[in-house]
Amino acid sequence: MRLVTWNINSVRLRLPLLARLIEETRPDLICLQETKVEDAQFPKDAIADLGFPHQAFAGQKSYNGVAVLSKRPLKGFRTRLSCDRPDMRHLIVELEDGTELHNIYIPAGGDLPDPEVNDKFAHKLSFLDDLADWFGQTYRPMDKLILVGDFNVAPLENDVWSHKQMQKIISHTPAEIERLNRFQDSLGFIDAARHFVPADLKLYTWWSYRAQDWAASDRGRRLDHVWVSAPLKEALSGALVVREARGWPQPSDHVPLIVDFYEEGAISR
DNA sequence: ATGGTAGCGTTGCTA
């Protein structure tokens, strides 16, 4: 089973790139963030025509929005709100085998890394605290869970181009990393990308639109993640960052992250 | 130290 997560930054504008991703990587399950579209305008027919008739989406005008697209039937879905806001940032889907898939878009947090003066950073920290508390209270470590999305935090030194220069840059501050780690530790989630790529190697999923030449400067960050609970650890079979997607025409600033799983009854391993 | 780009939906907000 091939899973991909991608902050697409407008699903309507980038439908041709979604088609290209499907054509070139053949995923079974696609999780999108920043769809930036209300549900009534979601391009469900065009996406069904790409081979993904089973869809769950929760959007709003202009901002946020999450979607799960599947080749196979989904058993159900729901959204979760937090921090007393209407933001569509958390979509929960039940897969056929009973695994719960959580597609999460964590707030970016603005520019100033001080929650006293920057409400957006305060919101980000509260959102992370809420995730840690809620997962810890709602599930057990042996539940089958997959968490994916744009977490907007690059936790490890080699998840950013310069650990030293990023200390006070939102996405790599100690306050966020501490909270992301508490969230991860709440149920002992396994970081699927780092399960395959050692921590001493640089790994990025996002490059700023503002760089003159994103590939030459290569000042990336690993903001997008796939985590699995302990029962799914042995099912992990590979991970791949689709770096070339950053060079596609009119790209998102994030690239897709693919994680492959072995499945019960598969012909070969 | 600063400003650089992109999307949405209208001229500002968010990233």
Angle at which helices A119-138 and A174-187 pack, to 10 degrees? Answer: 10
Domains of chain A with CATH codes: 68-261 (3.60.10.10)
Looking at every residue in chain A, the average pLDDT score rounds to 97
What's the average model confidence in pLDDT over A20-30?
98
DSSP A13-24: TTHHHHHHHHHH
Closest nucleotide (C1' vs CA) to A107 is B15
Predicted local distance difference test score (pLDDT) of residue A267: 65
Backbone phi, then psi, for A220, in 5-degree steps?
-95, 175
Instruction: Please give the span between the terminal C-alpha atoms of chain A, in angstroms, as a whole number.
Output: 12
Distance A230 CA to B4 C1' (A): 43
Answer whether A31's CB lies under 8 Å from A55's CB. no
CA distance A139 to A125: 21
In chain B, which nucleotides are within 7 Å of a protein Cβ? Answer: 3-9, 12, 14-15
DSSP A14-68: THHHHHHHHHHH--SEEEEE-----GGG--HHHHHHTT--EEEEE--SSS--EEE
> In percent, how much of chain A has pLDDT > 70?
99
Closest nucleotide (C1' vs CA) to A9 is B7
Distance A18 CA to B3 C1' (A): 31
Name the burial class of residue A97, with classes exposed (0-12), middle (13-18) and buried (19+) by CB atoms within 10 angstroms of its CB: exposed
Closest nucleotide (C1' vs CA) to A11 is B7
Distance A62 CA to B11 C1' (A): 15
Paired tokens of A217: 């400067």
How do residues A45-94 score in pLDDT, each as one tens digit? 999 999 999 999 999 999 999 999 999 999 999 999 999 999 999 999 99
**Max CA-CA distance within chain A?**
56
Distance A110 CA to B13 C1' (A): 11
Closest nucleotide (C1' vs CA) to A60 is B8
A265 pLDDT band (50/70/90 cuts)?
Answer: confident
Closest nucleotide (C1' vs CA) to A223 is B15
Cβ < 7 Å from nucleic strand B: A 9-10, 12-13, 36, 61-63, 107-110, 120, 152, 208-210, 250
CA dihedral (A131, A261, A154, A118) in degrees, to 10, reads: -30
CA distance A141 to A266: 26
What count of other Cβ atoms lies within 10 Å of the Cβ of residue A142? 11
Sequence-separated (6 or more) residues with CB below 8 Å from residue A124: A106, A107, A108, A109, A152, A170, A176
Q: What is the identity of the amino acid at A236?
A: L
Find the residue closest to B15 using CA and C1' atoms. Answer: A108
Find the residue closest to B10 using CA and C1' atoms. Answer: A62
Report pTM: 0.97
Predicted local distance difference test score (pLDDT) of residue A51: 98
The H or E element containing residue A224 is strand A224-228
CA distance A255 to A224: 9
Distance A89 CA to B14 C1' (A): 14
Distance A33 CA to B2 C1' (A): 30
Listed residue (A21, A71, A65, A76) closest to A48, CA to CA:
A71
CA distance A104 to A148: 6
Distance A39 CA to B1 C1' (A): 43
Distance A236 CA to B7 C1' (A): 35
Is the pLDDT assigned to residue A10 strictly greater than 60? Answer: yes
Predicted local distance difference test score (pLDDT) of residue A92: 98
Distance A252 CA to B6 C1' (A): 9
